[in-house]
């Protein structure tokens, strides 16, 4: 008996088909495996796993001199250095200001004229921006105020805003993420002689700067700035550093300690809370937000900070106890995929507070801290909408030559920031402090009830802000508005606005260069 002969062509076709099927199945299996792997390895959890073995360094207060004109003058030098991040004796190449990593804390009083001489000793051009400061746009240190290698830039302005925890960092367009990650950042504290509350205020003793950043290290101990696979927001590290130190602890010597928390990270959103010695979670008092003190202390369990935001909290301690500052999983309001890959499921131990056996008494928390923000949406004469989506604002990428908005001086305005996509964003406005009216129509929680300059905008939600532009008209120098997740900012999720005199005939979308005629 003979079988019908199969044609060689048919056999080859079947064989090829079979092989293709195997390849397709293998690829599908591989990518499914890859996804599963990425999913399970993407959540970081360092709860109870961080060894707090290094004393928290306190950034020094910057020296200053008062010159003949009565100006308080600071000197900042941007330089490269090497930093010991506890990677087995291998120092990492870093950048710092007057040092190897981060910079000194600047401190000035309301009413003072300050000047900062910023010298760039790095091999590349950068800028230094005063985040949260109310000042002329040309002094703001945004992407237009570049400082070339070897140059010194000397902005000067009068401090004219309430006591607050502000900060400074580079703003070089397209390079901000890298420059901040390498270490360029510092605090700028403002005091108000007319409002001295009885909050803990001895810098470095019961009033502690806490600059929180996340890092990843290469095998040879260098800073790795590669974003994890699938991260929609950019770089997320697995190691927390506070004031530039891994595994920090601080000896608390007073009954109450004030923490000035700064999220100085590129993309990570922290959800800070406290854990007592027995794993018991405990509360704290929120006393300040980005732009100053709250009207009154608010008892809170968690403080969520997206990049660029600050919070001041007061922690009460009992003698001899140890309390951990931990970042708990945050509710970013994203779908499960974006939540996970933006770090929303992560738990990170941050800082250990060790109370001495004898604690010096602290004053009671004051019942009143500062006047409440007093802007009213009803007083706004202008409403503007900003749609955050992809890497754009209102569908447009940052253009250094384009003016997106023109604000008339003296106007109270309502700005609506809407996140139209699935990715977490936040919204930062230069040159002004704003008040949050509502979040998706709901009244703001305590954390959003004081002065703010940066606010988280969850996917598919709208935050309404009210602000007043009451000084520094300049038709030639724009302020920035942007997402402070630094990769998004670098990718172009940024716009520019001018503040001009009422009669000035400047239109949005005019190229900046066309504003000629103004000296
Ligand atoms: Cu913190 Cu436009 O900056
Ligand atoms: Cu800013
Ligand atoms: Cu963003």
pLDDT digits over 17-39, tens only? 878 887 788 888 788 877 777 77
Question: Is 428's C-beta closer than 6 angstroms to any atom of ligand 1?
Answer: yes
Check pLDDT > 80 for residue 391: yes
Please report which residue ranges of 125-281 form alpha helices under DSSP H: 176-182
Inform me whether the pLDDT recorded for 335 exceeds 70.
yes
- pLDDT, one tens digit per residue, over 147-177 is 999 999 999 999 999 999 999 999 999 999 9
Which atom belonging to ligand 1 lies closest to the Cα atom of 132?
Answer: 1
Does the predicted model carry a pTM greater than 0.85? yes
Give the Å distance between the CA of 352 and the centre of ligand 2: 30
Would you say 511 and 257 are in contact if contact means Cβ atoms under 8 Å apart?
A: no
pLDDT score recorded for residue 27: 82
Determine the atom of ligand 1 nearest the C-alpha atom of 480.
Answer: 2
Say which DSSP state 59 is in: P
Burial category of 141 from C-beta neighbours within 10 Å (exposed 0-12, middle 13-18, buried 19 and up): buried
Nearest to 424 by CA among 169, 179, 272, 234: 234
Is the model's pLDDT at 96 over the cut of 70? yes
Domains and CATH numbers, the chain: 54-191 (2.60.40.420), 207-360 (2.60.40.420), 377-500 (2.60.40.420)
Greatest CA separation for the chain = 115
Q: How confident is the model at residue 7 (pLDDT cuts 50, 70, 90)?
A: low
d(CA 39, CA 193): 52
Residue 514's pLDDT band (boundaries 50, 70, 90)? very low
- Does residue 198 carry a pLDDT above 60? yes
Determine contact, residues 434/451, Cβ cutoff 8 Å.
yes
Ion ligand 3 residue ranges (Cβ < 5 Å): 425, 483, 485, 488
Q: What is the average pLDDT value for the chain, to the nearest integer?
A: 94
Integer angstrom CA distances of residue 483 from 94, 215, 460? 25, 20, 15
171 ligand 1 Cβ < 6 A: yes
Between the CA of residue 516 and those of 405, 476, 501, what are the distances in Å? 18, 8, 15
Q: For the chain, what percent of residues have pLDDT higher than 70? A: 96
The residue whose CA is least distant from atom 3 of ligand 1 is 131
Residue 308, ligand 1, Cβ within 6 A = yes
pLDDT of residue 517: 39
| pLDDT value for 310 | 98
pLDDT band of 513, cuts 50, 70, 90: low
- The answer, yes or no, to whether residue 82 has pLDDT greater than 90, is yes
CA distance 28 to 373: 56
Mean pLDDT in residue range 404-417: 97
pLDDT in tens, 425-464: 999 999 999 999 999 999 999 999 999 999 999 999 999 9
Instruction: Please give the average per-residue pLDDT across 302-317, as a whole number.
Output: 98
Find, among 105, 478, 198, 164, the residue nearest to 291 by Cα: 164
């Amino acid at each position: 008996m003979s079988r019908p002969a199969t044609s060689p062509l048919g056999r080859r076709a079947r064989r090829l088909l079979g092989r293709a099927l195997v390849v397709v199945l293998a690829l599908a299996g591989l990518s499914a495996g890859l996804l599963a792997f990425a999913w399970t390895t993407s959540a970081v959890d360092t709860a109870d796993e961080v060894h707090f073995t290094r004393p928290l360094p306190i950034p020094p207060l910057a020296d200053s001199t008062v010159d003949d004109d009565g100006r308080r003058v600071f000197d900042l030098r941007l330089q490269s250095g090497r930093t010991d991040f506890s990677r087995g004796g291998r120092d990492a190449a870093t950048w710092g200001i007057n040092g190897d990593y981060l910079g000194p804390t600047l401190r000035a009083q309301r009413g003072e004229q300050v000047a900062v001489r910023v010298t760039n000793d790095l091999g590349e051009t950068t800028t230094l921006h005063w985040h949260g400061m109310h000042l002329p746009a040309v002094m703001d240190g945004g992407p237009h105020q570049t400082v070339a290698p070897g140059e010194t830039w000397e902005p000067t302005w009068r401090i004219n805003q309430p006591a607050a925890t502000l900060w400074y960092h580079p703003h070089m367009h397209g390079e901000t993420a890298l420059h901040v990650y390498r270490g360029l950042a510092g605090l700028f504290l403002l005091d108000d002689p007319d409002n001295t509350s009885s909050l803990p205020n001895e810098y470095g003793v019961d009033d502690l700067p806490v600059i929180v950043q996340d890092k990843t290290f290469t095998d040879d101990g260098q800073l790795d700035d590669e974003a994890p696979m699938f991260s929609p927001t950019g770089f997320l590290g697995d190691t927390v550093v506070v004031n530039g130190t891994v595994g920090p602890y601080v000896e608390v010597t007073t009954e109450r300690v004030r923490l000035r928390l700064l999220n100085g990270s590129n993309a990570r959103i922290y959800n800070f809370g406290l854990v007592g010695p027995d794993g018991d979670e405990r509360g704290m008092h929120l006393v300040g937000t980005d732009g100053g003190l709250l009207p009154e202390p608010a008892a809170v369990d968690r403080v969520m900070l997206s990049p660029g935001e600050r919070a001041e909290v007061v922690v009460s301690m009992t003698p001899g106890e140890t309390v951990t500052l931990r970042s708990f999983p945050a509710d970013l309001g994203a779908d499960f995929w974006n939540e996970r890959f933006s770090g929303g499921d992560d738990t990170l131990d941050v800082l250990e507070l060790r109370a001495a056996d004898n604690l010096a008494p602290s004053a009671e928390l004051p019942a009143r801290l500062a006047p409440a923000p007093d802007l009213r949406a009803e007083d706004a004469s202008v409403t503007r909408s900003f749609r955050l989506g992809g890497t754009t604002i209102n569908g447009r990428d940052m253009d250094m030559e384009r003016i997106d908005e023109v604000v008339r001086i003296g106007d109270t305005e309502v700005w609506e920031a809407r996140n139209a996509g699935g990715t977490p964003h936040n919204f930062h406005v230069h040159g002004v402090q704003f008040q949050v009216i509502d979040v998706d129509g709901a009244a703001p929680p305590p954390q959003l009830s004081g002065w703010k300059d940066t606010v988280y905008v969850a996917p598919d939600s709208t935050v309404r802000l009210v602000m007043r532009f009451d000084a520094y008209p300049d038709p030639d120098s724009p302020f920035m508005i942007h997402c402070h997740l630094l990769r998004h900012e670098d990718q172009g999720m940024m716009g520019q606005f001018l503040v001009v005199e009422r009669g000035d005939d400047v239109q949005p979308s005019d190229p900046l260069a066309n504003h000629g005629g103004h000296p």
